[in-house]
Every structure is written in C-alpha cells, then in structure tokens.
Structure 1
Amino acid sequence: MDGVINIYKNTGMTSFDVVRTIKKVSGTKKVGHTGTLDPEASGVLPVCIGKGTKIIDYIMNSNKVYEVELKLGITTTTYDLEGEIVEERDPSSLNEEEILKAINSFKGEYNQIPPMFSALKQNGVRLYELARQGIEVEREGRLINIYNIEDIKINNPYLSMKVTCSKGTYIRSLCYDIGKNLGVGATMTKLKRTKTSKFSEEESININEINTDNIKNYIISMEDALDFYDKLVVLNKYSRLLINGVRVFDKRFTKDKIEVEKLYRVYDENGQFIGLGRSNHQGFKIEKLLIN
C-alpha cells in the first residue's frame, strides 16, 4: 500500500484526524498529509501512505487553489471565527470599487506575515502555543505569491473569491491584510481548498467514505502522483550511476532536451521509474530515489 490518496476533509476535524483514520483503515503506520487544513476548513488533503511518504514535500511545494469567504469590519485573534473579536468597525461606507482595488492589490508576490495562531515555530516554540498564553511576538514576513484572485463576489460586509497561490500562503492572513488595507479589518468566515498540486476536489474521496474494503481502489501510485513533472528517459548505461547517487556530467546520458534546475521524472530505457532528478552546471543527479 504505497502511494497517495486524494482525500476530501470535512469541517470540524483536524488534518491529523484524517491521518489517524487512514492509519486505522489501511493498517499502515507510515501515513502523512501534505499540508495542514485548519479544523474549520474543508477540502482537498492528499494523504501519502507507505513509500508514498517520500514525496510529501513535492506535493506540498506546489500551488494551491482556495475558495474563501471573509467578513469586513471584524478583526479576531486568529483571523477567523475561532478567535476572539478584538475590534469591530463599520464597513458600510466602502464601495465596490474600493473593495476590488484592495483585493487586487494583493495579486503577485508580497511579504506576508503569518498569524500568531499558526503551527510555525519561533525559537523552537509553536506560535499558537505562545498565542494561547496571550503572548504575541514579532513574526518575520514570508515571500508568497498570489497568482490569481477571481470569482470575486461582494455583498458588503461579506466577500467571497477564488485564490490561486503558492505554498506557504495563509489565506487567513490574506483576509486580514485585505481588511487592514481597507481600514476596517476583516476575518475569514469560510475556507475550502479545491486543489493542491494535481489533486482536485472533483477527483477526491470524502474521508467518511473510505473503508478497509475500498481503500486500495483510491491509492494513486507515486509515479502518477508526480506526473505534473516532465518525463526524462536516461540511457541504461547511465541509469545505474544515477541510482547509486552519482552526478552524471556526460550530456549524452539522455536523448531528451533538459533545462538547468528543472525537476524531472526520471526513467531508464526499459520504462522503469527511477525517481526525481535535476541538473545544474555540474551535471545531472537524482534528488529523490523512488525505485522499487
């Protein structure tokens, strides 16, 4: 039982609850999710099983799509409805043009400050542990990318939109920042992740529908889970060197055209999947060996 299951997480459960369920159903201890969804958020949560846990980072590092609703005029400690209200303002004087301008100003790269109620660590302590003690510390901003914001619906004080973003983006912080930009504050009221990497809501299986009889039907192989990376075929006489961790300098190791610093799915001439590899100016090397 090695691979990935495209799970749909329901609201009211933690991401670890999903992992615990899959461990029990699969009878496998080696299980991990690919990026935490808050308890009150729902949506796509790919779960890796067995040897599939080797590729968790490669799924986590990809782009994500969210559908989010936020409410203007309220600021909370957690940036969502789970927290205590710390400030309320009247947003009724804002017009649609002002709101749209504020939302669209966050498209592209920006330095986002994560919320205090997050699992990030500072000096070895998780931020939410400090926040629960009433301690707020200065957080370093992280460069994230909002690739697109679309399907914007404005029903002041409520706004909803679809956000495509890079890894590491906190949608709660985006809502907070939009509210701050408008001068009235905002808090996230609903969140659903509809896509992460190649895994979409349409092709997911609800966690409540997984059982011991059907779980094998939903396991996606590591090879298929990584098929968003381009394929590279290496000649057999070089494949053994790559499998043994050697960096290959000879450009004749493949007949395919390759780009520097791009990650590839690597195969030998017999069609055997070796793993993920990358080239630099010193040659080509396997970065993650995944051969059976």
Structure 2
Amino acid sequence: MDGVINVYKNKGMTSFDVVRKIKKIAATGKVGHTGTLDPEACGVLPICIGKATKIIDYIMDSDKVYEVEFKLGIKTTTYDLEGEITEEKDPSNLGEKEIEEAISSFIGEYSQVPPMYSALKQNGVRLYELARQGIEVHREGRLVKIKEITDICINNPYIKMKVRCSKGTYIRSLCYDIGEKLEVGATMIDLKRTKTSNFSEEEAINIDDLTAENINDYLISIDKALASYDKLIISSKFSKLLINGVKVFDKRLTNTKVEIGKLYRVYDENEKFIGLGKGDIKGFKIEKLLII
C-alpha cells in the first residue's frame, strides 16, 4: 500500500494518534503525517503510507490555509485555551479599524518566535517537555510568510479570520503577536486547517470513517499527491540516465521550457512517473526518485 490519505483530524486527538490508527488500519508500520496539528485543532492532515513517506517533506513544503478564532485581552502559557492564564486586559477601547490594521500588518514575511508549547527541539529536547517542567528557554525567531488574511470578522474581543501561510507558521503565535501589537494580549480559541498543498477539507475523509475495508478507496497515488508541482514529460531516450542520477544537458530532453530552480513532476513519454526533478544552468536532474 503506497499513497496518501487526505485525512480530516478531529479535535481531542494528536497527529500521532491519527498515524497510529492508520498503521493499524493499513497493517503497516510505514506511515507518517505531513505537519502536526495541535490536539484541540481539527482539519486536513495528509497521511503518507509506504513509499509515499518519501514525499512527506514535499507536501509539508507548501502553503497551508487555516480558519482561526482568537480572543483579545487574555494571555496564556500555551497561546491557546489549554494553558494557564498569565495576563488579562480590557480590549474594549480598541476600534475595528485599529484591530484590522494590526492584523493586516502581519501580511508578508516576519520573524516569528515559536511558542514554548511546541514540538520543536532544542538540544534534542522538545520545547513542550521543557515547558511542562516550568522551564522557558530563548527561542530564535524564524522567518515565516503570511500570504493572505481574509474573512476578518470582529466581534470584540472575539475575532475570526482565514489565513494562508507558509510552512512552519504557528497560528497560535500569530494570534499572540497580534495581541502584542495591540498591547492587550490575545489567545487562540479555535483552529481548523482547511488546506495543505492540494489537499482540501472538502475532499478529506474523517479519520473516524476510515476502515480497513474502505482505505483503498481513499488512497491517492504518489504522483497525484504531488499535483501542486507542474508536470514535465521528458524524452524516453533520457529516462534511464535520469533514473541513474545523471544530470542531463540536452535540448532534446523535453519540449517544455524548463524554469531554472523549479521543481517538476517528471514523467517519460509513456506517462510513467519517475520522480521530482529540477534544472539549473548545467542541466536537469532528478532530485527525488519515486518510481514505484
């Protein structure tokens, strides 16, 4: 069994709970998820099975879309309602325009400090493990990109919005940072991921509805799971060279103009999927061989 399941994770379970359940359903140990969703968050969590575990990083390296609700005037240790309240302020003096401007100021790239209650590691130890011991350590900011914030609904102190962002973005931290910008604090109270790469909520199967009898009905092939990457058909006379790791510099390789540095799904003339490849000024090479 090799492929990807577009799973909808429910609240109250960890991402690893989903992986464990699918390992049992698929009767295989080779299963991995494509980006942690907090236990109290729900939404799209693509799960890779078998040889598809080779493409986890490529699915993770894509935009995510979230629907989030947060509350102004409150701070917690976890940046969500799971933590202890550390500070409270009255945000009632804030107008809608001021709140909207603060939210919009985060569109673009910014250096985001991850929360202590996160799965990131420092010196081999996960931050949440240190946080549970009451230890707070310095975290370096990481450059993330907030590509779009839409559907902003303000009912002070409650705010809802939709966020499209780069990989590695913590929506809890975004809410916290908006609260800091407004000088009243903020805490996330609800989160749903509606899209990861080309996997959407509308096409997902709820983890509770997945069984050993129907799992194959929801298994997406490796190449289709990578549909966010453009397709490139190469001449079959060069396929063996590419498969063997050779960088090919020959204008007969393909009839398509290859963009330097862009990653493609590569097929031969017989529509056989080879893998992911990239070109530079010295030629074209397979970056990830994915022949089944």
Q: How does the TM-score come out when normalised to structure 1?
A: 0.99
Identity of aligned residues (%): 73
Partners of 1:242 and 1:190 lie apart in 2 by 47
Establish whether residue 274 from structure 1 lines up as the match of residue 274 from structure 2: yes
Matches within 5 A, 1:110-129: 110-129=110-129
CA shift for structure 1 position 233: 1.2
Determine the structure 2 residue equivalent to 1:59.
Answer: 59
Determine the structure 1 residue equivalent to 2:224.
Answer: 224
Partners of 1:172 and 1:221 lie apart in 2 by 33
Matches within 5 A, 1:66-215: 66-215=66-215
Moved more, 37-46 or 267-276: 267-276
Partners of 1:155 and 1:232 lie apart in 2 by 48
Moved more, 256-265 or 122-131: 122-131
Partners of 1:272 and 1:225 lie apart in 2 by 15
Counterpart residue type for residue 21 of structure 1: K
Unmatched tracts of structure 2, length 5 or more? none
Establish whether residue 17 from structure 1 lines up as the match of residue 20 from structure 2: no
CA shift for structure 1 position 250: 2.1
Determine the structure 1 residue equivalent to 2:249.
Answer: 249
CA shift for structure 1 position 146: 0.5
CA shift for structure 1 position 116: 0.7
Determine the structure 2 residue equivalent to 1:26.
Answer: 26
The 3-state SS of whatever aligns with 1:184 is coil
Counterpart residue type for residue 219 of structure 2: I
Determine the structure 2 residue equivalent to 1:233.
Answer: 233
CA-based RMSD:
0.7
CA shift for structure 1 position 230: 1.0
Moved more, 228-237 or 156-165: 228-237
Counterpart residue type for residue 285 of structure 2: K
Unmatched tracts of structure 1, length 5 or more? none
Counterpart residue type for residue 93 of structure 1: N
Deviation digits for residues 217-276 of structure 1, max 9, x if unmatched? Answer: 000001111122111111112110000011112232112110000000111111111000
